Structure 1
Amino acid sequence: MTNPLAAPDPWDVVAEGYDDLTAEMMLPFAQIALDSAEPKSDARVLDVAAGPGTLTLPAAARVARVDAVDFSPSMIERLRGHVRDAGLGNVEAQVGDGQRLPFPDNEFDTAFSMFGLMFFPDRAAGFSELFRVLKPGGGAVVSSWAPISESEFMTLMFGAFRAANPDIPQPQANLLSLENPEVFVSELRAAGFHEVTVQPHTVSKAYDSAEALWDRYSRGSAQVHLMRRNCDADTWKRREQLMIDYLNANYRPGQALSTTAWLGSGRK
């Protein structure tokens, strides 16, 4: 069964809200990835599944050039807007498929894919393409969410989802995905990478209220968009209120919620 999050449409719809969400939740992981890769000031960097530029923009402040690719036209449009607003002249952004990158072999010093390659229908192709376009000696950093059980934030959100719709199954760790660090290591090595490591990193975010938490998450979540799309307006209104009620009952304003991700790295 194809993962609906592996198509651009839901990401196009939530691009504006996702932009807000990534600034809060995902930027710390992008900064960790950049710090771990340590690209040189004259480096050419690739950002695959770049979204609205969560890694691209801070990378552009450190290196000579960043090429950004995403399959969502709306995400690339927002990224280009940020590039214009920041007056950056060293970023090239284009719509493209991370499983078939539009670049020649041995082109980049460092490559990243933050929470994107994990959704690819063909992850092996995604890893192989990162390897192909890197120069010999170049490094790659790829991130993936850890199992939901290791994330206070997503555990709380799935509790809200199930309060509104008990038919939603309890989340289970997918041992065949990049949630499993052994699979993560294996797929990096299978693509040809060496010096492979996969390490957990945790960040936390607090919200002023349950309503603020829901607003920030729901506006930027492709998953919530798909839930909304799959029911009529009245059903969604009722379910959304049930989710907010659940959050009000289970979230203390100002409480920091942790989220854990795996950062996998390797060298060509």
Structure 2
Amino acid sequence: MADTQPENFSVPSEVFDEMAKKYENGLGGAQNDIVRALLSHSKENHPIDSNSVIHDNACGPAVATGEILSQGISPPPKIFATDYAQGMIDITRSYKERRGWDSVTVQQMDGQALSFEDEKFTHSISSLGVFMFPDGKKGLSEMYRTLKPGGWIGVTSWKDVRWPTAAIAAYEKFFPNAQEPLALPMPKNWMDPENCERNLREAGFHDVKAEVVPCTNRQLSKEIGASAFVEFITYVSPTVKSWDEDTRERFLAYYSTLVEDMFLPANNGNGVELTLYSIVTSGRK
């Protein structure tokens, strides 16, 4: 993949505020696949039980929290779900109310400056979260600080979310002589298992392991699937934002066709699907 941005490129929280209501549907259940793989690491190394105290860090639309509670642990563990984006917090609070998540505490909080006391949690989880922090090292440091000795950490990131390949191809077609690369939020130091393991070890964790996990974006149609990626790149790429409306519309139309071509008929005959690849990394304090 072509170089796309500086190492510290990050997405402002207001972007996730705007995207919050569409974020979960846009991934078409892929994040649930990722979280299940992450929780399987926990089950093998530090199982969650009724006495667990869990931090769902950069919780987004509470996918990890929902998956943990769906395991039917009785009584359910205590979960603290936090996110910097108010839009994600609003969604998580609505789930807490509608689904009766009495053991869940929801708080708006910066993952790089957590207000929790030291050694509070038995499990610290960040699915598709900390790798997007402006300062990922600070985020891991805060997860380490707030984790009990012997506690378990689990984080996930993207190895190949697929849409950047289409975006770069479209950019190279429209701007073959461009002097600057297309700016995209793809933190390179989280895009292969070795780097992910090193990130956790440098933060002080041990017994670290990382694996590439396939996950599936399931949509009713190619057009619906592509529309989510079109909207996402419009929000997150400063390059795309900088263009005039006509250039942006022509680029996005072509980009959309490239993304549509990536989706294949679903194996069950219902809609379409696109295989993505994530990295699941875990360890102990």
TM range (shorter): 0.7 to 0.9
User: CA deviation digits over 1:61-110, x for unaligned, max 9?
Assistant: 44421101111111111111111111211111111111111101111111
TM-score (norm 1): 0.85
Q: Look up the match of 1:257.
A: 274
CA distance in 1, matches of 2:64, 2:174: 34
1:84 counterpart (94, 97, 107): 97
Instruction: Evaluate the alpha carbon distance shift between residue 248 and residue 90 of structure 1 in structure 2; reply closer, same or farther with a 3 A threshold.
Output: closer
Tell me, yes or no, if the aligned pair for 1:15 and 1:74 is still in contact at 8 Å.
yes
CA distance in 1, matches of 2:281, 2:203: 13
TM-score (norm 2): 0.80
Unpaired segments ≥5 residues, structure 1: none
Q: Look up the match of 1:60.
A: 69
CA distance in 1, matches of 2:275, 2:192: 19
Q: How far did residue 264 of structure 1 move?
A: 1.0
Tell me, yes or no, if the aligned pair for 1:107 and 1:135 is still in contact at 8 Å.
yes
The number of aligned residues is 261
Q: Does 1:122 align with 2:135?
A: yes
Q: Look up the match of 1:45.
A: 54
Matches within 5 A, 1:107-186: 107-146=120-159, 148=160, 152=162, 154-156=164-166, 158-160=168-170, 162-163=172-173, 167=178, 169=181, 177-186=189-198
Q: Does 1:33 align with 2:44?
A: no
CA distance in 1, matches of 2:200, 2:40: 20
For the residue of structure 1 that corresponds to 2:247, the secondary structure is helix
CA distance in 2, matches of 1:100, 1:4: 17
Unpaired segments ≥5 residues, structure 2: 1-5, 267-271
Q: Look up the match of 2:9.
A: 3
RMSD: 2.8
Instruction: Evaluate the alpha carbon distance shift between residue 246 and residue 64 of structure 1 in structure 2; reply closer, same or farther with a 3 A threshold.
Output: closer
Q: Look up the match of 1:70.
A: 83
Report sequence identity in percent: 26
Q: Which stretch of the first structure deviates more once superposed, 191-200 or 237-246?
A: 237-246
